[in-house]
Structure 1
Amino acid sequence: MAQFQVTQTLKTDNAFIIQGFLLEGQIDKEMEIHIPLNKFLDVTGVITEISETNSQYNITIGCSDLEEIDLWDMLNLKDDVIQIK
């Protein structure tokens, strides 16, 4: 499991991008990001792309439609530490 510090998020036409720094562990394509909404429900996304520049990562979550992208955006992840499995 990896821990990731989110610094910024971006939306595109078909993806949601999380920018930030890896705090612990390793990340690879096809790993899952789990954001708990409460103790029984998570929002889960699969990493489709990863790029690194100057120790900062861009993690792309492929989304099937604009509503899914908007859902990720509504989570307001900026400054959060997220778990990647």
Structure 2
Amino acid sequence: MGSEAMVPEWASEPCIMGIDEAGRGPVLGPMVYGCLYCPLSYKKTLATLSFADSKTLKEEKREELFEALKGNDSIGWHQ
């Protein structure tokens, strides 16, 4: 889901959300903020998907995880 996507039906259930930023700030370069949300009932499944602090993952793994997120109908995200 990108920023133009409609709110999924499951979003009317209790949800959890994570927000993170990346970058060096307006003085040294752009900042990017992103958020991911999913139904609270998906929390255990989300914990099995091998996410970690992006600084500890190689770029290839970050891209792989991002592609998995984009194709998952149980997760909404905005950047």
**TM-score scaled to structure 1, two decimals?**
0.30
**TM-score scaled to structure 2, two decimals?**
0.31
The structure with the largest helix share of the pair is 2
